Structure 1
C-alpha cells in the first residue's frame, strides 16, 4: 500500500472518529434532557477535535497519532456505559 493511500485511509478514519465524537455529544445532550446521567466531558471532546485539526493542518501526524494513543483511547475506554435507563 502506498503512503498516499495510507494517509487517505487514516484521514477517513479520523473523519469517522470526529463524527462519532460529535454524535456522542449529541446523545449526551438528548439523554440529559430526559434525566439520564451521562458521565463524560464534552469539553474534552471539543479539545480533541481542535487538537487533531491543528495537527493535521501543520502535517504533524506524529502529534495526531500520539493523541489517539495517549489521550483519546484512554478517554474513550474510561467512558462509563449506560447500564439502565429508568
Structure 2
C-alpha cells in the first residue's frame, strides 16, 4: 500500500472513531427533544461527513482494490435529506437518517479499514 494512501486511511479510520460517537450523541439529543444541543453538534458532523466523502472519492481506486465500498451518491443523498429535515425542523427524520442511514455505513467503513490496516 502506498504510504500516503495508508496514512490517509489511518487518518480516516481515526476520524470515524470520533465521528460515530458524535452522531450517536446527536441522535440521543434529537430523540430526547434537546434540539439545540443536537444542532450544535450537527454542523461539525456534516462538515466531517463531507470530508469523509472527499477522502473516499480521492482514494476510490485503492478502496476498490481492498474491496471497501461506500456509495458516495447514497451519502450525498442522505446529506440532502438531512438538510431538508433541518429546513423543516423535522428532528425525528434527522435522527432517523443519522441513525439508520449514515451510522451503519460509517461503521462498516471503519471496520473495513481496520481489516486493511
Query: TM-score scaled by structure 1?
Result: 0.74
Q: Deviations over 1:9-36 (max 9, x none)?
A: 211211111111110111122223xx41
Please, which of 39, 42, 63 is the counterpart of residue 69 of structure 2? 39
Query: TM-score scaled by structure 2?
Result: 0.57
**Count of residues paired in the alignment:** 77
> What residue is the counterpart of 2:38 in the other structure?
10
Structure 1 residue ranges (4+ consecutive) displaced by more than 4 angstroms after TM superposition = none
Query: Which blocks of at least 5 consecutive residues in structure 2 are unaligned?
Result: 1-33
Query: Which blocks of at least 5 consecutive residues in structure 1 are unaligned?
Result: 1-5
Q: What secondary structure is seen at the aligned counterpart in 2 of 1:78?
A: helix
Please, which of 14, 18, 29 is the counterpart of residue 57 of structure 2? 29
Please, which of 35, 45, 48 is the counterpart of residue 78 of structure 2? 48
Q: Deviations over 1:21-60 (max 9, x none)?
A: 110111122223xx41252111111011100111111111
